[in-house]
């Protein structure tokens, strides 16, 4: 399944993904006038402060499977598009009960009036829709397209994880100076040999004890 993958160590907190997301979900889709719309277009991705200074984390919907929000929605406003693997909200059916926000493990839902909602004063659930319209056109999600530091990348999840492992391995090798691991000095099987010798020694000791005290194996307890 293709999805947006987050590399939090790359994020610089520039908020370009938030701006691109809000513009993509505006009526005009024009950054020069979108902020004048009523209701104001809302972002679906939230850049949050990282655990240490100068770090940030772009938090977004993971489109869980199974999705807790979908399971608890009483109005049937939340559904899954199986073709693209995205969990979507029908704003016209949302009643703003916030049950989805209660069960969401990633705290990605907010509530605002939307242009496509039931009314300008009615708050409905707002979350990432994976830029489903762009994906269906073969385009990248807006947040990924706007990110210049590869904190957000789009692709098959297995391929992205494999690429991340290669990147991390390369970083480790670079930090180590690219030096090959030295073969340990002496016999590389010395530990196994010592263990075998200890086993043989224990066996010889057991045989010697048996010869000194024959028949003790049939006793319930033997104390040499």
Q: What is the pLDDT along the chain (224 residues), one digit of tens a residue?
A: 789 999 888 999 999 999 999 999 999 999 999 999 999 999 999 999 988 888 899 999 999 999 999 999 999 999 999 999 999 999 999 999 999 999 999 999 999 999 999 988 999 999 999 999 999 999 999 999 999 999 999 998 888 888 777 777 777 777 776 555 555 566 767 777 777 787 788 777 777 777 776 655 444 444 44
Fill in the DSSP letter of residue 27: S
In this prediction, residue 224 carries a pLDDT of: 47
What's the CATH architecture for 1-59+129-178?
2-Layer Sandwich (3.30)
Does CATH place domain 61-127 in 3.40.30.10?
no
Which of 100, 16, 26, 106 minimizes the C-alpha distance to 60?
106
Beta bridge partners of 47: 58
| Max Cα–Cα distance, the chain, nearest Å | 100
Kindly give, in sequence order, each residue whose CB lies less than 8 Å from that of residue 89, ignoring residues fewer than 6 positions away.
77, 78, 124, 125, 126, 127, 129
Half-sphere exposure of 10 (CA within 13 A, CB side): 14
CATH 3.30.70.20 positions along the chain are 1-59+129-178, 61-127
What is the bridge-based pairing of β-strands 46-49 and 152-156? unpaired
Beta bridge partners of 126: 110
Q: Which two tokens stand for residue 207?
A: 């045989």
In this prediction, residue 222 carries a pLDDT of: 45
């Amino acid at each position: 399944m293709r999805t947006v993958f987050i590399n939090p160590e790359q994020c610089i907190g520039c908020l370009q993904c938030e701006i691109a997301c809000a513009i993509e979900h505006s009526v005009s889709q024009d950054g020069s006038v979108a902020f004048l719309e009523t209701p104001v277009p809302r972002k679906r991705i939230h850049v949050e402060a990282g655990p240490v200074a100068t770090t940030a984390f772009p938090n977004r919907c993971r489109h869980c499977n199974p999705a807790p929000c979908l399971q608890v929605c009483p109005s049937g406003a939340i559904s899954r598009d199986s073709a693209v693997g995205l969990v979507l909200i029908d704003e016209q059916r949302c009643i703003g009960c916030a049950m989805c926000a209660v069960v969401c493990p990633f705290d990605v839902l907010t509530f605002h009036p939307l242009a496509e909602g039931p009314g300008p004063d009615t708050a409905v659930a707002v979350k990432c829709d994976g830029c489903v319209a762009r994906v269906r056109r073969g385009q990248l999600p807006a947040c990924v397209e706007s990110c210049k530091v590869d904190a957000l990348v789009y692709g098959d999840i297995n391929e992205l994880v494999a690429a991340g492992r290669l990147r991390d391995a390369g970083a480790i090798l670079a930090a180590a100076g690219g030096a090959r691991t030295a073969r340990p000095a002496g016999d590389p099987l010395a530990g196994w040999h010592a263990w075998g010798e200890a086993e043989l020694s224990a066996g010889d000791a057991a045989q010697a004890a048996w010869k000194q005290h024959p028949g003790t194996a049939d006793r319930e307890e033997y104390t040499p």
